[in-house]
Amino acid sequence: MDAKIIAAPPPTKNQTGERDPDKHQTKKGKQWYYGMKAHIGVDAESGLVHTVVGTAANANDVTQAQALLHGDETDVFGDAGYQLQYETFILQ
């Protein structure tokens, strides 16, 4: 599981000049982004995507971890942002 920021034009650059309530800004490293985030669950053996969840860019990756699991996993791979949430799943 992992997440990818999908950048969009700044909110005042769209046709209506209004903010989209589904998009927000986030900082990755020293760079700011405005847009959305795709949280992606992939089968480790086949490499096939089984789940995609879209959120505002400022959503924390760990908030979508439960939605990215289908329940038949024997192993889960994710970056350090998912570590605490994964340990919670094991203890339940």
Evaluate whether 20 touches 35 at the Cβ level (below 8 Å).
no
List, for residues 31-51, the tens digit of each pLDDT value: 999 999 999 999 888 899 999
Number of domains forming the structure of the chain: 1
Q: What angle do CA 37, 38, 42 make, to 5 degrees?
A: 150
Residue type, 43: D
* CA proximity to 56, closest of 17, 14, 19: 19
pLDDT tier for residue 61 given thresholds of 50, 70 and 90: confident
Query: Domain limits at 61?
Result: 2-91
State the pTM of this model. Answer: 0.76
| 21 SS3 class | coil
